[in-house]
Each structure stands twice: as structure tokens, then as C-alpha cells.
Amino acid sequence: MGNRAQILIVGTIFLGLALVPLFAELTQTPFYLDLARRMMILAIGALSLNLIMGYGGLISFGHAAYIGIGAYTVGICAEHELVSGFIQWPLAILVSGVFAIIFGLISLRTRGVYFIMITLALAQMMYFLGVSLDRYGGDDGLPLIERSNFGALVDISNNVTLYFIVLGALVLSLFFCKRLINSRFGMVLQGTRSNETRMKTIGFPTLRYQLTAFVIAGMMAGFAGALLANHTDFINPDMMHWTRSGDLIIMVLLGGMGSLAGPVVGALAFILLEELLSGVTEYWQLIFGPFLILVVLFARGGLLGFFADKEQRDG
Amino acid sequence: MFDPNLLFEQFFNGLQLGLLLFLLAAGLTLVFGIMDMMNLAHGSLYMLGAYVAAQITLWTGSFVLGVAVSLPVILLLGVCLEAGLLRPLYARGHLDQVLATFGMILFFNEFVRLVWGPEGIEVPLPDFLKGNIVIFDIPLPNYRLVVIGVGLIVALMMYLLVTRTRTGMLIRAGASNRDMVQALGIDINRVFTLVFGIGAALAALAGALAGPILAVTIGMGENILIQVLVVIVIGGIGSIRGAFVGAMLIGIIDILGRSFLDTFFKLFLPVNAAETAGPAVASMLIYILMAAVLFFKPQGLFPAKTG
């Protein structure tokens, strides 16, 4: 797909996102503000997954775990009356990074089906850990007493302010991914995806690169988790459930794997589709499941890729 | 505080969970192993098997009939799924397989919710399986003994099938080197349909047997699927022997961990801390075991692939 077309699509999306608070205010529908904010937070999560999955070829089926770890870090801090966002957010990123190092070291010893299953199992372990943490709400989850406090700098207890913070975070994340992918590091990562043996033969310690990418992705997801905790004012183990990880994979694939802005488009499409279908019928997954299968079978390259092909076909 | 009778009883329960896991893992490990296919929908077959058996049992009052109907129904469904949906995916990457089978899970879960409603079904125990047998003063429920018996019989039959028959030879050959088997003129796709069908029937059997013990609910397939994946990873993909050893390990360790870990922690931790840490660590125990096994043997305990 042409670079210009991609910039056009992404530019339109961001313009639309920037206008959502105005729209919500004028039409008195705070629901849309909430929906768009959740979509953007998930987009950051999907962007981070795309780093390892799209560019690194590492299919992690446990990425929601890091979102959960980030959210729990914020939630647990708040529970112990540590509400400063200057501490909470960096800590959320740090803790998810530490978990990503450990999980990465374990799972990167394997490839293929093994890798998928192990990331899935490790994430599910975190889910069950969350369920068994009675002190922090266990199965029911834990309400956030107070959103992260940034003192005089900015007050995110205001929903619109938080919205723009999230929007800014998404733009920054996108920019960060762009820089990372086009850097030497990103090139090595992509080279490893297409042929690991070759990269090793040239002399790159591929495992080290993959682990680094895995940890960066984990930290980004942890950041998304910190945002998510503030967004929902609530943490619960369900954030880490394996179907959440599946949702993230779907977003990346829907948008177009290995394209920079794909996950943003994918997250948007996913959330809209979910809203649309659940409006049509209570049993919306009855439609969504087969839809997924059709996407896999026929729309390779996701929505961005699908439209790009169409453009080429149409001349 | 520590009761050897309880230990024996829980060991027995662990054995039963292990055999249930084996019924699921046996089919799935072959699917993974032979076709290098990532199939998440195996848990759905388990769930559907449980629902069909439960429904027939409620209609006719005969649990045995429920199991007997459920098996061929799910076997047929499995074969249709394999031929219609999964076959085009073999040539695709793992990611496509994950996504398509994930879509199948969503569909089947919602389908079950539509047909049977969000509440689970309670399956009554058949009269002749109620009651206990007392061994060394320890009451063992008849039904659990039956589950263990069936599981052991299936394990034995699978072992004989895989090691003593021509079909089994092809299955083993397919698991260790699929291309070579094809090059020798064997239609591996037919072998695979067979394996998938057997796997589906075993999943249905596991679901039907689990019905009276565990609740028949919508999420039942996914919860056990993750445990089954751990079993397969520990045992080594494509290995029936590995699936058996892995299932026994996971079943027994999981149950014993949940029963005794807090008691064990109390030996050296304050009571409060032990009661918090016990359940938390117990719920993570099988994953820690998996990580440990992988650290020393990344291919699992009994790797089937020869490269």
C-alpha cells in the first residue's frame, strides 16, 4: 500500500479522534468519548503487539498479560495510597518490562506452535494469579479509588483531559514504533523474521534482538495497561484473560500485520464491529466468529492490505 | 493438621483429573504434531460433547446413552470441521490457524449460549454409579473410579493403536517427518482426518465424563484447553507417551498443590502469609512446572520430531 494513502487514512482517523470530545459534548453522548478512548488504549496495546508479531514474527498469544500487569501496578499502588502518576506510570512500565524479560527468556527458547502455547500459558498464569489475589479483589477486581495524580501538571480525573492524554500517548506510540522499525534495530528484527539462520550466520545475536523487542513490546503494553486502569477506574483479572490476548491479535490482523498504522485501523475496526454487531443481536459472536474465519481465508494483509489490493486492481 | 488419608484421596482426585486431561491431550498432541497445526477449537469439541451428553441424559434419563450418542455426533462434527474448514489452513502460517480456530471458539460458545442459555446444566449421576467404595477406610466415589478406569483403558488402546498397528506406524511417522511420509506415497491427509476424528471423539468422551463432576458451562472448554496445552508442551508435541506422562504430572501436581500448598507454607511462613501465598502459588504451579521443564528440555520430555 502506498505510503501516501496510509498517511491519508491515519491522518483522517486522528482528525476524527480529535473531534470526538466535541461531538460527544454537543450531542450529549459521553458514551462515544468512552468508546473512542478505550479504542485508542487498545490501539497502543495492538501497536506493541505488532512490533513483535508483525515485525519480529513472534506470535505472542499472551500479550494482554502485560496490559494487565500495567493496570494492576497502578491499581495496587493506588490501593496503598501511592497515587502519584509520576511514580505509578513509570513503575507500571518497569514492572511489565521485568515480567517480559522473564517470560521472554522462557518462551524464546522455543519456536512455532510451542511459542504460541507457552506465551498463552504464561499469560493465563497471570490471569489465575490475579484471580487468587484476594487482597486486591480476586475474581471481582478492584475499583481504583483515585486516578493517577499528576499534581499541578494535568488533572486526568477530567474525562476529556484523560481523552487527550490518551490521544497524545497514541500519537507518541505510533511515532516511536515508526522510529524503532526504521532503525538498525528494527531492520535486524525484520531480517530475523524473514530468515533467522541467515541473520545468525551474518553474526547477529538474534535472540538478544528478539528478547529486546519482546521486552519493549511488553513495556508498551504495560503503559497501555496503566492508561486502561485510569480509563475504567477499575482493575480485574479479566483484562488478562486469554481472549483479551486473542482480541489484540485480531486487531493487528484486521488492520494489516506488519504495517505501521495497521493496528490503529484494526483496533478501530474491531471496536466498531463489536458495537455494531452487539447492537444487531445479543449473540453477536455468532456472526463475529465466522467473520474472523472469512478474514483469515480471504482478506490476507488485513483491511489496509485489502483496500490496497483493491486500489491496485482498480488501476 | 496433616492427614495421610486426605493425601491419598487427593492423589486419587489428581489421578482422575490427569486422565481427563489425557483424553484431551492425546488427540490434540497428534494434531499439533502431524500437521504442525495450531488448533484451539479442541476445547469447543469437549464442551459440545459435554452438552450433547448432558442433554441426552436429561431427555432419556440414561447417562450411558448420553455418552454413547455424544461420541459419534462429535466425531462426525470433528471430521466435517477438519475437511471443510481446517484443511485449507494447513498450508497457512500458525497465526492464521490461531485466528480461524479462535473464531470457531467464539462461534461455538455463542451457539451453546443461544441453544442452552447462559446457565450451565447439572448432570445427575446415574444411580448405579452413586456411592463409594471404601478402601483402607477411605471412601472413593464410584464414579471417579469409573472415570479413571475408562481413562486407563483409552490410554492403553491409544498406546496399542500407535505402537502396534500399521495406522499407528503412519501416525508416528507423520509426527516425526511428514514430508518423508508423503514422499513415500502415503496420503497423510487421510491419516490426519482419522486422527482428528479420534481426537474429537476422545474430547467428547472427556466432556461427557466430566459432566457429572464439573459443571457443564460455556467456558469449560477454554479453561481445560490451557491446561491441556501445558500438558502437551511438557510431554512434547506429537508424543502420546509424553501426553500421558504430562497429563498425570499436571493432574496430580495441580490437585495436590491446591490441597496442601498452604499447609506446606505454614511450616515456614506466618499463617497469614501462608494463607495468601498458598492459593496464589497453587494456581501458578503447573505453569512454573512447565517453565522448568522447558528450561531444561525446550522440546518437552518426549519430543517426537526428528527434524
Report residue B278 as a C-alpha cell.
498458598
Residue A235 bridge partners (DSSP): A142
Q: Give me the mean pLDDT over the B160-179 stretch.
A: 84
Q: Is the pLDDT of residue B213 over 80?
A: yes
pLDDT at A183: 94
What pLDDT sits at residue B2?
Answer: 63
pTM of the model: 0.88
493438621: which residue's cell? B1
The CATH number that applies at residue A166 is 1.10.3470
Average the pLDDT over B168-187 and give the result. Answer: 84
pLDDT category at B162 given cuts 50, 70, 90 is: confident
Could you tell me which residues are beta bridge partners of residue B135? B138
In terms of residues, how long is chain A? 315
Q: What is the mean pLDDT of chain B?
A: 86
Say which range, A85-94, A161-170, A173-182, A273-282, has the weakest mean pLDDT: A273-282
Q: How many CB atoms lie within 10 A of CB B115?
A: 9
| A50 found inside a domain | yes
Q: Is residue A213 part of a domain?
A: yes
Is A283 close to B38, i.e. CB distance below 8 A?
no
Could you read off the pLDDT of A232-258 as tens digits, one per residue?
999 999 999 988 999 999 999 888 877
Task: Give me the pLDDT at residue A304, please.
Answer: 65
CATH for B4-296, options being 1.10.10, 3.90.1070, 1.20.1050, 1.10.3470: 1.10.3470
User: Between B205 and B294, whose confidence is greater?
Assistant: B205
The residue-averaged pLDDT of B204-225 equals 87
d(CA A266, CA A256) in angstroms, rounded, equals 7
Q: How far apart are CA A263 and CA A41, in angstroms?
A: 11
Predicted pLDDT of residue B190: 85
| Residue that is written with C-alpha cell 497453587 in the block | B282
Q: Does B206 or A135 have the greater pLDDT score?
A: B206
For residue A95, give the nearest of A209, A223, A210, A214 by alpha carbon: A223
Residue A2's pLDDT band (cuts 50, 70, 90): low
Query: Within an 8 Å CB–CB cutoff, is residue A284 touching chain B?
Result: yes
Handedness of CA B104, B110, B113, B119 (dihedral sign): positive
pLDDT band at B305 (very low <50, low <70, confident <90, very high): low
Residue A153: what pLDDT? Answer: 84
Find, among A54, A107, A292, the residue nearest to B98 by Cα. Answer: A292
pLDDT at B222 over 90: no
pLDDT of residue B10: 86
Tell if the CB–CB gap between B89 and A296 is shorter than 8 Å.
yes
> For chains A and B, what is the number of CB pairs under 8 angstroms?
121
Judged against a pLDDT cut of 50, whether residue B307 lies above it is answered with: no
B32 touches chain A (CB under 8 A): yes
Residue A96 has pLDDT above 80, yes or no: yes
The single-letter DSSP state of residue B60 is H
- Using one digit for the tens of pLDDT, what is the confidence trace for B99-141? 899 999 999 999 999 998 888 888 888 777 777 777 777 777 8
Interface membership of A171 toward B (CB under 8 Å): no
Give Cβ neighbours of residue A22 (< 8 Å, ≥ 6 apart): none
Which pLDDT score, from 0 to 100, does residue A308 have? 53
State the pLDDT at residue A164: 92
Q: Which three cell numbers stand for residue B266?
A: 505454614
Give the helix ranges, DSSP H, for B36-165: 42-60, 63-81, 94-116, 142-164
- Average of per-residue pLDDT across B44-51: 94
Stretch 70-99 of chain A: residues touching chain B, C-beta under 8 Å: none
**pLDDT number for residue B156:** 92
Over residues A281-304, mean pLDDT: 81
Q: Exposed, middle or buried, A123 (CB in 10 Å: 0-12/13-18/19+)?
A: buried
Residue B68 burial by Cβ neighbours in a 10 Å radius (0-12, 13-18, 19+)? middle
- Rounded to whole angstroms, the Cα distance separating A46 from A127 reads 19
Q: What is the pLDDT of residue A311?
A: 45
Q: Which residues of A touch B226 (CB under 8 A)?
A: 120-121, 124, 242
- If pLDDT is split at 50, 70 and 90, which confidence band does A306 have? low
Please say if the pLDDT value at position B201 is more than 90. Answer: yes
> With bands split at pLDDT 50, 70 and 90, how would you rate the model's confidence at A300?
low
Mean pLDDT of chain A: 88
Measured distance CA(A63)–CA(A79) in Å, rounded: 25
Q: What confidence score (pLDDT) does residue B231 get? A: 94
pLDDT at B86: 86
The answer on pLDDT for A48 being more than 60 is yes
For range B85-102, the mean pLDDT = 86
Interface contact B25, partner A, CB < 8 A: no
Answer yes or no: is A130 within a domain.
yes
Q: Give me the phi and psi of A54, to 5 degrees please.
A: -75, -45
Q: Which pLDDT tens digit goes with each residue over B226-269?
A: 899 999 989 988 888 899 999 999 999 999 988 888 888 888 88
Contact yes or no for B95 and A53 at CB 8 A: yes
Range of the domain at A213: 3-270
Number of domains chain A contains: 1
pLDDT score, position A28: 86
The predicted pLDDT at position A314 comes to 41
Residue B164 DSSP code: H
